[in-house]
């Protein structure tokens, strides 16, 4: 039922979203045509088009050229910052574990593995000089063949250059952290800074985003027991696909006297 208090297109977007959530419009299925929806709701096609625009921005539907508008096929992925790395022994990396827990097919395509010049921001995060080199493992992660994130990991070159496993796409059980531990640089703690922003054009194309959708940019830094930063990973993730979970214990503050 359409009410007068809110714009019609916003109400129709809510109704369609409810049908997506209750399975009336199944994941991956085609949304009814705008003409059909306009007739059903008793509104103009322009109003329905604006409603679909809202659903595109929120990631509930996706427009595929020549195929129409489809319901999002990948559910929202929960990224538990506290436990994700502890579970990495279940797969080659934490991102793979998160996707498999949803019974989705995981895939990682590597764009580059090798020695590179270090970007200034990465050098600062790793405590390096800008002239120092790093090992870059750049990849795109997928769930059911849908891109879910770009992840670029930088490691100090002097400590990784002799690891043959880190030069391979499949670094083995536990992923890159397992190999760092083999080298004597086991990771024991992490820090993360999260920003939401519009994607760059290359990110927009790689992740198959709608122009109105935003991404999370997560700067993830891994440290050894000696407090040495050994990885700076920049994750770029569509906001509509991810929920970021953070948990910590409250530390009582002692009374000042």
Sign of the CA dihedral running 157, 159, 162, 164: negative
CATH number of 77-245: 3.40.1410.10
Summarised one tens digit per residue, pLDDT across range 29-40 is: 999 999 999 999
Taking 70 as the threshold, does the pLDDT of residue 92 lie above it?
no
Question: Confidence class of residue 89 from pLDDT cuts 50, 70 and 90?
Answer: low
Residue with tokens 């027991």: 225
How far CA 196 is from CA of 139, 143, 148, 238, in Å, comes to 20, 22, 15, 9
Phi, psi of 77 (to 5 degrees): -100, 130
How far CA 208 is from CA of 30, 138, 201, 232, in Å, comes to 18, 18, 10, 25
Taking 60 as the threshold, does the pLDDT of residue 183 lie above it?
yes
Question: Confidence class of residue 254 from pLDDT cuts 50, 70 and 90?
Answer: low
Question: Confidence class of residue 1 from pLDDT cuts 50, 70 and 90?
Answer: low
Taking 70 as the threshold, does the pLDDT of residue 256 lie above it?
no
Q: Which of 130, 85, 132 is nearest to 233 (CA)?
A: 85
* pTM for the predicted model, two decimal places: 0.86
H or E segment and range at residue 205? helix 201-207
Q: For residue 85, what pLDDT is reported?
A: 62
Over residues 237-254, mean pLDDT: 84
Q: Where in the chain is the domain with CATH 3.40.1410.10?
A: 77-245
Summarised one tens digit per residue, pLDDT across range 38-86 is: 999 999 999 999 999 999 999 999 887 777 899 988 888 988 877 666 6
How far is the C-alpha of 235 from the C-alpha of 238, rounded, in Å?
10
Taking 70 as the threshold, does the pLDDT of residue 103 lie above it?
yes
Q: For residue 236, what pLDDT is reported?
A: 98
Phi, psi of 218 (to 5 degrees): -115, 120
Question: Confidence class of residue 2 from pLDDT cuts 50, 70 and 90?
Answer: low
Summarised one tens digit per residue, pLDDT across range 188-218 is: 999 999 999 999 999 999 999 988 899 999 9
Q: Where in the chain is the domain with CATH 1.10.10.10?
A: 8-71
Q: Report whether CATH 1.10.10.10 matches the domain 8-71.
A: yes
Q: How many CA atoms lie within 13 Å of 17's alpha carbon, on the beta-carbon side?
A: 16
Residue predicted with more confidence, 225 or 64: 225
User: Looking at the DSSP assignment, which residues form a beta bridge with residue 234?
Assistant: 152, 219
Summarised one tens digit per residue, pLDDT across range 122-180 is: 999 999 999 999 999 999 999 999 999 999 999 999 999 999 999 999 998 888 999 99
SS3 123: helix
Q: For residue 257, what pLDDT is reported?
A: 46
Query: The tokens of 10 are what?
Result: 């916003």
User: Looking at the DSSP assignment, which residues form a beta bridge with residue 222?
Assistant: 190, 231
Q: Which of 63, 42, 70, 76 is nearest to 241 (CA)?
A: 76
How far is the C-alpha of 153 from the C-alpha of 14, rounded, in Å?
39
Strand pairing report for 187-197 and 215-224: antiparallel
Q: Which of 235, 218, 229 is nearest to 137 (CA)?
A: 235
Residue predicted with more confidence, 181 or 102: 181
How far is the C-alpha of 124 from the C-alpha of 128, rounded, in Å?
6
Taking 80 as the threshold, does the pLDDT of residue 93 lie above it?
no
């Amino acid at each position: 039922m359409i009410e007068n208090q809110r714009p019609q297109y916003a109400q129709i977007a809510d109704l369609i979203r409810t049908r997506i959530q209750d399975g009336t419009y199944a994941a991956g299925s085609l949304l009814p045509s705008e003409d059909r929806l306009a007739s059903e709701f008793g509104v103009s096609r322009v109003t329905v088009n604006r409603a679909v625009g809202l659903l595109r921005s929120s990631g509930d539907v996706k427009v595929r050229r020549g195929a129409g508008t489809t319901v999002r096929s990948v559910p929202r992925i929960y990224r538990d910052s506290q436990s994700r790395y502890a579970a990495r022994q279940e797969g080659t990396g934490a991102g793979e574990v998160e996707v498999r827990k949803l019974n989705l097919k995981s895939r990682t395509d590597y764009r580059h593995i090798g020695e590179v010049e270090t970007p200034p921001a990465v050098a600062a995060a790793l405590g390096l000089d800008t002239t120092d080199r790093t090992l870059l493992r750049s990849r795109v992660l997928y769930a059911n063949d849908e891109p879910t994130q770009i992840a670029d990991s930088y490691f100090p070159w002097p400590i990784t250059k002799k690891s043959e496993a880190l030069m391979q796409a499949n670094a083995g059980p536990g992923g890159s952290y397992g190999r760092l531990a083999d080298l004597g640089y086991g990771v024991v703690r992490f820090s993360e800074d999260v920003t939401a922003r519009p994607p760059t054009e290359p990110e927009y194309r790689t992740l198959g985003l709608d122009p109105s959708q935003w991404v999370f940019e997560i700067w993830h830094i891994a440290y050894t027991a000696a407090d040495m930063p050994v990885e700076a990973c920049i994750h770029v993730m569509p906001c509509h696909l991810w929920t970021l979970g953070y948990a910590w214990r409250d530390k009582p503050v002692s009374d000042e006297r």
